[in-house]
A and B are shown apart, each in its own frame.
Chain A
Amino acid sequence: MSAVIGVLLIVAATLAQAAVLPEFSIFGVQPNLLIVVLVAWMSVRGKQEALPLIVIAGFLQGLLDSEPLGLAMLALAPLIVMTEVREWKLVESDLLPAILLTVLATWAYEGVMLISLAVTGERVDWLNSLIDVLLPAAIANALLLLPVYGVMRLFRPELRPSPAFGA
C-alpha cells in the first residue's frame, strides 16, 4: 500500500514541478519538489522503498521536461548513494540528515545538469552558476523540505512495541 502511495506522490510531485513550481520563485530559483519528496520519503520510509521511487521519478521527469529522456535519471542517481548515508543513523533526528541530504542532492542534481550542458558544447558560466543556481537552489529546497517532511511523517511506519523488560 505504501508503495502505491509513494508512486502517487511522485506522480503528483512531477506534475506540480512542471506546472506549479515555476510560478513560485525562492531566491530567484525554482525549488525542486521532486528531490525534496524523494529525500523526505527516504528519511521516513527507508532505503528499500526509496530506491524504486528514485528510478520512477527520474523517468517521469524525463518524459515531462525539455531535456533528453534519461538525463533526469542520471541527475537523480546520486540519491541512490545517499540512501546509504541515511542508513548510518549518525544522529537521533531524521530531519537534520534529511536537510543535509537535500542540500547534497540539489548540488548533485544541478551539477549533473550543468555538466550535461558543458558536454553538449553549450557554454557554462561555472562561477555564476554556483552563485545564482547551486547555492540558492540548495537553500530553497532545504526550506521546502520542512513542510514536506512534516506531511511525510504521517506515512511513518508504526514503531514496533519495545520488548518487555527482562524478556
Chain B
Amino acid sequence: MHVRTRTWLSFVVIAGLLFMAGSRFGIFDPLENAVLVAVAPVESALQDATRPVADFVNNLTDINSLTNENRSLREENERLLEQLSQSREVEAENQQLQGLLGVRQSPDDTFVAASVFARDQTNTREAIAIDRGSSDGIREGMIVLTQQGSLIGSVSKVLDNYAWVTLITDVDSAVSAVVQESRAPGVVAGAADGSLEMEFVQETAEVSEGDFVLTSGLGGRYPQGEVIGRVVNVERTAQELFQSVRVEPLADLSRIERVLVLESFTPQEEPPP
C-alpha cells in the first residue's frame, strides 16, 4: 500500500473515532442542528418532488400485491364500518354509565405534530428525521404515532430544532406487547429485513392471523393500549417453547409524511444493566 494511501486511511480512521467520541458527548449537536436547518427545506422539497415518481415505480413493480391488498382493504373497510356503528352505541352507553358512577375521565393526550423530512441512510437502521426538536418540547424516549394513532417508534436523538425517531421496525427496537383478543403477552421486535416479530409468545397462547397487537405498558417505556399492528403469520413448531408470530405495522412505515409525538406521556428510564 502506498504511503499516501496509508496516510489518508490513518487520518480517516483517527478522525472517525475522534468524531464518534465527541458525538457521544453531544459536542457536534449544534453543528448537526445547523446543517439540518440549512438542508431540511431542500430535503423536503426533494422528497415532495420525487414521491410521485417513486410511488409510480414502486407500484409498477408491486401491482399484484396491490390488487390483493385493495381487495382485502375493501373487505376490511366494510367490516370496520359495521364495527364502528356498534362501538358508537357502546361508547354512548359507556359515557352514560361513567356519568352515573362519577368516574373521572383521564386527561386528553397532548401531541406535537411533526413532518418527516429524511430517513436514515443505512440499511441496518430504521429511523426518520422530524422537524421538531428540544425547542418544541421534544425529549428523548417520547413515543411517536401516526396521525391515525398507531405506534411507529420513539424519539432516539434530539437536536434543538430536529429529532431522530427510531422506528419499531429497527433491529434495536423492542416493545412490550399483548395480543388484543387473547391477551397473550410478548415483545414486538424489529427484524433485519425491516419487518416485525412478536417474540416470547407462549406455545399454548391463542394467536390467529388478523389479531391486533397492542402495547402492554409493561416496563413503562410505552403507554398501554397503543396499536402496533396486526398478526400476519403464526407458526407453531413442536417442542418449541414459543410461537413465531409475524406482525405487520398498521401504517406503511416507508411512506410516513406526518407524525404525532405524544407529549403527555413520560416514559420511564430504563434500569441500568
- CB–CB B51/A23 < 8 A: yes
Residue of A nearest to B42 (CB): A15
- Determine if A49 is an interface residue (Cβ-Cβ < 8 Å): no
- Determine if A71 is an interface residue (Cβ-Cβ < 8 Å): yes
Stretch of B99-107, B113-121, B259-267 contacting A (4+ beta carbons < 8 Å): B113-121
- Determine if B77 is an interface residue (Cβ-Cβ < 8 Å): no
For the complex, give the distance between the alpha carbons of A62 and B253 in Å.
23
Stretch of B14-22, B200-208, B214-222 contacting A (4+ beta carbons < 8 Å): B14-22
- CB–CB B19/A70 < 8 A: yes
Chain B residues 37-85 with CB under 8 Å of chain A are 39, 42-44, 46-47, 50-51, 54-55, 57-58
For the complex, give the distance between the alpha carbons of A123 and B28 in Å.
27
Residue of A nearest to B27 (CB): A69
- CB–CB A123/B19 < 8 A: no
Residues of A near B88 (CB, < 8 A) are: none
Chain B residues 214-273 with CB under 8 Å of chain A are 254
- CB–CB A74/B172 < 8 A: no
- CB–CB B193/A128 < 8 A: yes
Residues of A near B22 (CB, < 8 A) are: 69-70
For the complex, give the distance between the alpha carbons of A15 and B12 in Å.
22
For the complex, give the distance between the alpha carbons of A137 and B19 in Å.
26
Return B221 CB to nearest CB of chain A, in Å: 16
Stretch of A50-58, A94-102, A149-157 contacting B (4+ beta carbons < 8 Å): A50-58
| Interface bits A13-55 vs B (CB < 8 Å: 1, else 0) | 0011111111111001110101000000000000100010011
- CB–CB A68/B123 < 8 A: no
Residues of A near B192 (CB, < 8 A) are: 125, 128-129, 131-133
For the complex, give the distance between the alpha carbons of A32 and B129 in Å.
18
How many A-B residue contacts, CB cutoff 8 Å?
169
Residues of B near A29 (CB, < 8 A) are: 123
* Among B5, B16, B119, contact of A70 (Cβ-Cβ < 8 Å): B16
- CB–CB B157/A19 < 8 A: no
In the complex, how many residues of chain A place their beta carbon closer than 8 angstroms to a beta carbon of chain B? 55
* Among B4, B32, B123, B129, contact of A30 (Cβ-Cβ < 8 Å): B123
| Interface bits B139-173 vs A (CB < 8 Å: 1, else 0) | 00000000000000000110000001010000110
Residues of B near A61 (CB, < 8 A) are: 121
- CB–CB B254/A81 < 8 A: no
Return B41 CB to nearest CB of chain A, in Å: 11
- Say yes or no: A28-B193 contact (C-beta < 8 A), given A65-B120, A65-B122: yes
- Determine if A114 is an interface residue (Cβ-Cβ < 8 Å): yes
Return A65 CB to nearest CB of chain B, in Å: 5
- CB–CB B17/A18 < 8 A: no
For the complex, give the distance between the alpha carbons of A20 and B121 in Å.
10
Residue of B nearest to A33 (CB): B121
Contact sample, A vs B, 14 pairs, CB 8 Å cutoff: A20-B47, A22-B119, A23-B58, A24-B54, A66-B125, A66-B127, A69-B23, A69-B32, A70-B18, A113-B125, A117-B171, A125-B171, A128-B193, A129-B124
Q: Which 8 A-B pairs have the closest CB atoms?
A: A70-B19, A23-B54, A68-B23, A73-B16, A70-B20, A22-B119, A19-B43, A132-B193
